[in-house]
Structure 1
Amino acid sequence: MKRLPGQGRITGLRRLMAAKGIKALLVTRREDVRYLTGFTGSTGTALVTPARAYFVTDFRYMLQARRETSGISILIQKKDWVSAVHDAAERSGAGTVWFDETSVLVDALGKLKKTGLRLKGSRSLPEELRQRKDARELASIRKAVRRAEESFRELKKDIRPGATEQELGLKLEYLMREKGARKAAFDTIVASGRNGALPHASATNRRIKKGDLVTFDFGAEADGYFSDMTRTICVGRPSEKQREIHGLVMSAQAAAIRTVRPGALCKAVDDAARSVIKNGGHA
């Protein structure tokens, strides 16, 4: 039998719950639900206790839930989400139900309390588990990276004077979808000329000119995981100034990479790169 993504992860969550003294946990964040259960739909909630685990969704996702989940009891809400969660809590015999206080809306929380459930907020425990990627996750991330890299390599022949930023962005997203990505990781950025000074520029109808530096910020999806990369292309032969800036950025990147190690602060890594750029006269 094919092993589903969620198998084993609920066991890991239970160990974490036991260490924190949590007897019942309501998992509502979409990414956490998918991580634990394998369910890829947009409407789903998990309730996990030491002995049982329940998956709550509505009738639209009944078949999908049966196909994608394993080792968890499926409850199809009959009235509404609040009633279904209350039903799951009663079936599990839960006393206090812990919830992710960063993802449950105030309105939903109020309605749950009216059912008589005892609730207590917590940080996302599945998020703690997700910080360490397993072999399946790493394979998906690598796949997302390959889809983006291969698509960009194919796009390079189209990056020439006369092409617009929007045309290049759309072509890049098409190539990533063609390679299996369900969507782009985020809104693809194509920024040429002065637009490249904007950290999160939107692609425009500006036409690429000879001598432009064109920045692409993009990523692809694979199994719910995303890649994120930035590439800058010089259209035509780079000037001495452009070569100088390129060398400075490479040195800054190398300095940042040398700083990366277990326990290092993100700020220290950022400072390592910025100090190189500052010393190069581009503060």
Structure 2
Amino acid sequence: MTRIERLQQQLPTLDLDALLVTDATNIFYLTGFSLTAGDGALLITATQAILVTDDRYAQALREFATTEVTGLITRDYYGSINELLEKQGLMVLGFETSLSYEVYDQLDELMTADLVPCRGLIEQARAEKDSHEVAKLRAAAQLHDQAFEYLLGILQPGLSEQAVANRLDFWMKEHGATAASFPPIVASGPNAAKPHATVSPRKIAAGDVVTLDFGYWVDGYTADLTRTVAVGEPDFEFKTVYELVNQARQAVIEKIAAGANGAALDAAGRQLIEAAGYGDEFQHGMGHGIGLTVHELPASYGPATTQVRLKHNQVITVEPGIYLPGLFGVRIEDDVLVTHGGHEVLTHAPTELLVLK
């Protein structure tokens, strides 16, 4: 059964006559056709899947090898969709709550069908990967491991954060990645104490800590890898914090399996950090899902995520961190496949403390 067919089977249980998919990633997930965000929509009824876009995509649709999806070329996306609904007598239309208010306002003005919000319907399906998706995520993780090895060979005092990020971006794209799934983080010295540091012109100095956090799409799927290294011999506190973060990472990974509770997973690592007196210096969740985007369900798991239950073939990150303002930060992140019997760590870059001489 295809992804569209599974969705069509759900329509009656949701009391929907049709579903309007406007999120470009969800359209790709369901059809395999790439649209730029805002360049069309996918209408799914009980018997049809109609990709509504404009003549910029006409040739691509003619070359699109599928009999499951029908293309409709128009400049009036939503007016044409309303006509389709009226002709078929479809009176209840589900829509994704991720669409903008501007688009919702258009739908509310145009549609004669009743509009029903659908939250996370396709995203829930995306969370559980099939075997082909898992293979792509493994390949993405492997390339990120190789990129980290490349970075170890270029990191040195005098090189700016921006220069490192630029070289990483070039290397990834030269080796099969298409684009970054989020702006890479290269945070040196005190900048490493900022969990979401932006790349700066600051030059790496001897004795600095450097946090490297990056994710790139490879064949449509993204990995997400973070490692923290020392450029020159670090002090005792850094070594202590590094070992603590690494122990927390491993403690969480050991608890990962289908059915595991998000808050309990988080606690497995966070309690170690809190017991060592650094609880206030760990200010974010323990991880999140990844796949076609860098934040998939579960969007985050942390102390309050008691409703999160991991499912077979989800891929999540594990990324504890400790951040000491003005001094340094440490974050270590792995990507992990959830299985019925436990887990499989997809990222294999070394996690022991690396001191670059």
Say yes or no: TM over 0.5.
Answer: yes
Q: How much is the aligned-residue C-alpha RMSD, in angstroms?
A: 1.9
Q: In the alignment, what sits opposite 1:32?
A: 26
Deviation readout 1:19-61 (Å, 9 max, x if unpaired): 3332211111111111011111212311111111111011111
Q: Which has the higher contact order (CA 8 A, sep 6+)?
A: 2
Alpha-carbon distance between aligned partners in 1 of 2:97 and 2:21, rounded to the nearest angstrom: 10
Q: Distance in 2 between matches of 1:119 and 1:281?
A: 51
2:221 to 222, 225, 237: 225
**Counterparts in 2 of 1:207 and 1:112: CA distance versus 1, 3 Å:** closer
User: In 1, are the aligned partners of 2:187 and 2:211 still within 8 Å (CA)?
Assistant: yes
Q: Deviations over 1:224-275 (max 9, x none)?
A: 2211110111112343333222221121112222333333332222222121
Question: What amino acid is the match of 1:21?
Answer: D
Structure 1: gaps (5+ residues)? 1-6
Of 85-94 and 177-186, more deviation after overlay is shown by 85-94
Counterparts of residues 65-76 of structure 1 (less than 5 Å): 65-68=61-64, 70=66, 71-76=68-73
Q: Distance in 2 between matches of 1:157 and 1:19?
A: 55
Q: Cα offset for 1:92?
A: 4.3
Q: 1:223 to 1:66 in 2, by over 3 A?
A: farther
Q: 1:188 and 1:138, CA in 2 relative to 1: closer, same or farther beyond 3 A?
A: same
TM-fit CA distance, 1:282: 2.3
Code of the residue aligned with 2:83 in structure 1: it is D
Matched residue, 2:321: none
Per the alignment, do residues 244 and 106 of structure 1 end up closer, same or farther by CA in structure 2, a change over 3 Å counting? Answer: closer
Where 1:25 maps in the other structure, the secondary structure is strand
Maintained 8 Å contact 2:40/2:77:
no
Say which structure is richer in strand: 2
Partner in structure 2 of residue 19 of structure 1:
13
Which has the greater radius of gyration?
Answer: 1
Question: Quick check: which one's helix share is greater?
Answer: 1
Q: How does 1:120-135 map to 2 (within 5 A)?
A: 120-135=116-131
Amino acid at match of 1:113: D
Task: Give distance in 2, aligned partners of 1:225 and 1:69.
Answer: 21
Query: What SS class does the counterpart of residue 230 from structure 1 fall into?
Result: strand
Q: Say whether 1:84 aligns with 2:86.
A: no
Amino acid at match of 2:173: R
SS in 2 for 1:207: coil
Q: 1:278 aligns with which of 251, 267, 274?
A: 274
Report if aligned partners of 1:16, 1:125 keep a CA contact under 8 Å in 2. Answer: no
Q: Quote the offset at 1:75 in angstroms.
A: 0.4
**SS across alignment from 1:232:** strand
Decide whether the 8 Å contact of 2:160 with 2:202 is kept in 1. Answer: yes
Query: What secondary structure is seen at the aligned counterpart in 2 of 1:61?
Result: helix
2:144 is matched with: 148
> Residues 128 and 61 (structure 1 numbering): CA distance in 2 closer, same or farther, change over 3 Å?
same
Q: Name the stretch that deviates more: 168-177 or 246-255.
A: 246-255
* 1:4 alignment partner in structure 2: none
One-letter amino acid of the structure 2 residue matched with residue 164 of structure 1:
S
Partner of 2:302: none
Q: Distance in 1 between matches of 2:124 and 2:172?
A: 30
Which of 101, 113, 135 lines up with 1:106 in the alignment? 101
Give secondary structure in 2 for the equivalent of 1:264. Answer: coil
Contact 1:145–1:220 (CA under 8 A) maintained in structure 2: no
- Sequence identity, in percent? 35
